[in-house]
A and B are shown apart, each in its own frame.
Chain A
Amino acid sequence: MNNDLRFSALKKTPFHSRTSLASRTNKWYAWNGFTVPTEYSTIELEYTAARNGTSVMDLTPMGKYEITGGDAHHFVDYLVTRDLSEMKDNTVAYIIWCNEDGKVIDDGTIFKYSSNKFMLCCAVKIYNWLNDSAIGFNVEIKDVTDTIAALSLQGPTSCSTLKNYGANDLETLAPFEMKQFTINGYEVLISRTGFTGDLGYEIWTDPENAKSAWDSIFEAGKQLKIRPFGMHALEMTRIEAGFIQTNTDFMAAEDALRPVRMRSPYEIGMGWLVHFKKKNYFIGKKALKLEKENSTTERCLVGLDIDGDKPAHGSVIYNEKKEDIGIVTAAMWSPTMKRNIALASLRRPYGIKIKDNIFAEIYHPEEIEYRKIWAKCKVVKRQFYNPERRNKVPADLYE
């Protein structure tokens, strides 16, 4: 995660009094200028909450930008590669955006309130990028990171928890929809979104309601296996879901020092988000079109199913001639699927045309020394975990 503010004092999120109380390990990290827990108790327990109960994560440090004005809809359509021209009010869309060379800057979500008002959420700070991109558009961009408190509730019982908390009829909310609620006398926006690949919601409210919301939610989820959830457990769930993480699976184009590290959407499995046919021009279109027409895409990001049970953290990937063909960007042993999985950036045609006979060189730590394992891998769909309940409407409810 972006750590660029490490020399200034870290801010506390509006949930800090609650998260610090919940933290048993005192493990924190800096995210966008805030301090938030990496883990509260043990990663395994937190991961299990996300898969079997309700996990609660403090999302406040997420970069949040309000985009308002007459050209707001045109502007967000221009900003991202995806066609958002038909986007409906009160919906959310997953997006990526590129620079002029067609290299990905970041991914995130865009929330549409109305044609004149949007909110963009992403992991890193992009205020300057938004502002410079807005030249020539009638829009105002405001960094609202500090003025909106956010929590992510993920897991099979998350809908029930939020219903108990006061979100009536929440089960009818479809994935990527959002709805405004008044709960306990204050306004809460709830969107059916998340980063774990499971049923889940994100809630957004004024920082002054933060403590009360945290307390009410934990009270509401008492019988539903609710547990606070840190960054490390999130890393596990997002790998299983096949979601990409900026500056982990690829370098953000604005951060990369080496131009060869920049990646186009096609190189990180996001080609499906590039819509050349949309009416408006979008940033990077010219470069992306050239890349597509000339088939100059060099790499790909794939899922790997690896023999054995030792996670292939940072492994180099080889072909059968022992030539280096890529690298693992994220790896784990998946407790839910009982599979040794990884995301890997490979040099094409490996991963696209050649999916077999590739190998990972794993260095498995065994008390100071490493054991070297030569493990056979198979290229598979990046989305390892995709339960039916994730997209089910109405959502599953539990007593």
Chain B
Amino acid sequence: MSEKKYDAIIIGGGHNGLVCANILAKKNKKVLVCEARENCGGMVNHEIINYVPSIPNSVSQSIGGLNLKYNSKSTIALSESGKHIRLIGNQHLDHATIAKFSTQDADRYLEFHDKMSQFSKALGKFMLDSPPRIMNNSFSDYAKLFKLGLNVRMLGKKRFNEFARMIGLNIADELEDNFESTLLQGLIAHDSVLGSNLGPRSPGSLINLLYRMAVHGYSLFGGIYEMDGGSETFISALLDKCSKNNVEIKTSAVVKQCLIEDDMAVGVELNNGEKFFAKTVVSNADPRSTYLCLLGAQNLDTDVKRKINHHRSKGRVAKLSLQLNKMPEFNDCDDTDLNSRMVISPSIDYIEENFNPSKFDKLSSEPVLEICLKKDSNNNSSLDIQVQYAPYKVNGGWENIKNDYVNSIVKIISKYSSNIESCIENKTFITPDDIEQNYHVSGGHWHHGEIQIDQLFMLRPIPGAAQYKTHLDGLYLCGAGAHPGGGMHGISGKNAAKVVLGDL
């Protein structure tokens, strides 16, 4: 047996990996983090994300508190006619906000929000903890499952029935039943499908919204923030903690494989041949890479390979960044509006039609956009744009179509901002394929795998691998592919650390 220098080696210095490393190190465990890129942080990067939820208290407390400042973000759904919907902070819950364009929708909206908020809370309590494992007959696991059942049942008979009706539902049906404003429908539908592989009419698109609400303070539009200094501040704060807690970090250290002795994970081997040994190995990489590359298909049972092959993890979001030389003007928008989260998603049908070509690995000429104005420390401005339904691989290859596609996006924006083209200094465009290459995430999926009922809770990422353990003893998962899922909250990292500590 080789000498084990570390208690844990964490593969991947994304935020979940760093959260996990800090929790372990605080308990006096010797931890090494291997990060493939030049810097830690992974997809918590302005290149990828626009807005963040607030980091849950349970996570920041578990690493001794993080001093982060947030600015609440309003949302504005742009309309070509100029009749935008503005949802400022938590004012979307004021009847008057929505009554401005439809009193009927305002009534319905409050009811809808209340219902969705309750449902996401019922799931949310479950979300923040390790999921139960059903097959091992442990009492605490059954108790946990019972508690989830109880949470849902405690909603009352009417709500419980409603929950049962909605859990597999598509968001379009629910929105069309409730609202008359197609713009409001389009806005909520946008947030339901953002980052997923579903259209608003795909079954199960509603659960994606519940997940989003659960990690955004149980609110539809209230829990969206921008971090003071950018989301990278979160990573700097985590790295500060790491140096305080004596976490060893190696960057530009690409892990080639997990080392296995006697059917146990005992360390990692880097691409340059260096080997490090530890009592446990914790992977913050996505499940597919973890299983097929790090653990190795040759060390897996057939059924496990079948399951990991079925794991759905193809990303559908691209990111366009427009560096500006002057501020663009948006029709009927003031400065406050420009600083809001601007969404171009005029109706459910608009999204669905946009989604359709992506099913065939083709591009839509009118993508759904979420636009965010950013200023860096040198006061240079840019528009960061999430482009929904950019397929992971495109027919004919991304390289050939990229320019035309970027131009079509700019053309869409110019419908809402007549001078946009004259403001653009430079453009950068990142496809899911690029995310895969640059961030070592197979499929380039934000969440390391779809947030869908068959890939949630004890089924996340695959049956038999829940509770942060993999099929190899001593190898754990701590990333977005594990329960509860992606997004910048660090819950998977925190929960995984607890499991690793229990086994160390």
Contact = CB atoms under 8 A, between A and B. Distances in A.
B471 A129 contact: no
A135 B309 contact: yes
A100 B298 contact: no
A77 to B, nearest CB: 10
B302 A132 contact: yes
B306 A284 contact: no
B438 interface: no
Interface residues of A, number: 17
Interface string A271-286: 0000000001101111
Given A78-B298, A135-B302, 16 more contacts: A99-B303, A100-B301, A129-B302, A132-B302, A132-B306, A133-B302, A135-B305, A135-B309, A136-B292, A136-B298, A136-B305, A137-B298, A284-B301, A285-B263, A286-B263, A286-B301
B299 interface: yes
A11 interface: no
B304 interface: yes
Given A99-B301, A100-B302, A132-B305, A289 B296 contact: no
B300 interface: yes
Which of A100, A129, A132, A283 has the most C-beta atoms of chain B within 10 angstroms of its own C-beta? Answer: A100
Contact of B296 (A99, A136, A284): A136
A378 interface: no
A133 B305 CA distance: 7
A136 B302 contact: no
Contacts of B296: 136
Contact of B297 (A100, A136, A284): A136
Nearest to B304: A100
Interface of B: 263, 292, 296-306, 309, 471
Interface of A: 74, 78, 99-100, 129, 132-133, 135-137, 280-281, 283-286, 289
Contacts of B299: 281
A183 B301 CA distance: 43
15 contacts: A100-B303, A132-B305, A132-B306, A136-B292, A136-B297, A136-B298, A136-B300, A136-B305, A137-B298, A280-B298, A281-B263, A281-B300, A283-B302, A286-B471, A289-B263
Contacts of A280: 298
B497 to A, nearest CB: 25
B309 A283 contact: no
Nearest to A79: B302
A228 to B, nearest CB: 38
Nearest to A287: B301
A104 to B, nearest CB: 14
Contacts of B301: 99-100, 283-284, 286
A78 B297 CA distance: 11
A78 B301 CA distance: 9
A280 B296 CA distance: 12
A3 to B, nearest CB: 25
A117 B301 CA distance: 22
Given A136-B292, A289-B263, A281 B298 contact: yes
A146 B431 CA distance: 47
Given A136-B292, A285-B263, A74 B298 contact: yes
B147 to A, nearest CB: 28
Contact of A99 (B263, B297, B300, B302): B302
Nearest to A75: B298
A138 to B, nearest CB: 10
